Every structure is written in C-alpha cells, then in structure tokens.
Amino acid sequence: MAEDHFEEVTIETDDLGRHLNVSNTRQVAERLTGNWPEAHKGALYRKAVKACMDHLWGKNGSDVVRRAFVEAAKEADILVREGRHSLTTTWTETRPGVFEVRLNANAIFLVRQDGARYDVQLPGLGWQKCRSRNQVERLCQDYFETSHPEPVHE
C-alpha cells in the first residue's frame, strides 16, 4: 500500500493518556488491522477497512481513506482531533472526582467525574455532559478555539 499522506488525525491508544498521530494510509491500515477496539468493529470500521483495500487497488484516494478512518474513530470514541493543534491538555485532580483540565497555560476548565460520566463547566454554557475523557478534551478544545461550541446532546 502506498504511503499517501494526508492531514493528521490523532486517536487515543490503549495506554491511558497516550495518543497516536496518523498521517498516511499505511498507518491507517496498520491501526485498523492491528489494534482496533474489538467492541467497535462495526459498520464504520468495515467501511474504513474497505476504503483501505480500495485504495490499495487504486479505486480511491487517500482523502477517502482518511474520512472513513475518522468516522470509524468517532464511532469507537477514540478520535482526539483532526489536523494539527498546538493545544496540550493536562488533567489535574484537585480533589476526588474533581479535575482542572488545562489547555496549555491559556485556559482552565472545571470537570466533575461521576463514575464513567463527566460534567464540564463551560463559561456561558453551564455544565455539559460527556461520556469519556476524550470527549471532555474535544469539547474544551472546541470551546477554547471557537469560544462558542455546540453543546453536547446525548
């Protein structure tokens, strides 16, 4: 398979707090066939695998592979971000179940954890519910970058 490069996609790995940057079709194929969350090998995963196979046979471009990979990563809830961002996210537990999430030194968000759920306080929007740390980070980054993201609806 050719290593056709595309705009970077960042996903979570099995190692807590570690991310993987994927920027070519070979890396997509390796990730899909080597270490994909077993519980998330659904329709979008199969579509991404097919996009890789079609790319191998010259039936589509790397942009199709990237789009399919992003959708599969969203379905598996491992997508951290698309493209390059200079924001570094740091979690600090200030007391049990309460965290400060920092984006560089520029912004601090208050996060409460209740079991596997998270509540994030966003200025002007109040408390927003999230299903994972990954979703918390995306929401905080979106808020910071746009100052008015769409609220999370579950």
Whether 151 is in a domain gets the answer no
24/65 same-domain check = yes
Which of 66, 82, 98 is the C-terminal boundary of a domain?
A: 82
78/95 same-domain check = no
pLDDT of residue 147: 58
pLDDT greater at residue 21 or residue 45: 45
Whether 154 is in a domain gets the answer no
Report H helices in 11-132.
25-34, 43-56, 62-75
75/23 same-domain check = yes
Q: Which domain holds residue 113?
A: 89-146
10/54 same-domain check = yes
pLDDT category of residue 5 using cuts at 50, 70 and 90: confident
65/127 same-domain check = no
Strands 117-122 and 79-82: unpaired
What's the mean per-residue pLDDT of the chain? 84
9/56 same-domain check = yes
Count of domains for the chain = 2
pLDDT of residue 100: 92
- Give me the count of residues in the chain: 154
15/65 same-domain check = yes
Whether 68 is in a domain gets the answer yes
Distance CA(26)–CA(30), nearest Å, equals 6
| pLDDT(3) > 90 | no
Q: What confidence tens digit (pLDDT) does each residue in 29-75 have? A: 999 998 888 888 999 999 999 999 999 899 999 999 999 999 999 98
Mean pLDDT to the nearest integer, 128-132: 91
Mean pLDDT to the nearest integer, 112-119: 93
pLDDT greater at residue 103 or residue 122: 122
77/57 same-domain check = yes
9/75 same-domain check = yes
Is the whole model's pTM more than 0.75, yes or no? no
Distance CA(100)–CA(91), nearest Å, equals 6
pLDDT category of residue 8 using cuts at 50, 70 and 90: confident
pLDDT greater at residue 28 or residue 143: 28
Residue 130 · residue 119 · CB < 8 Å:
yes
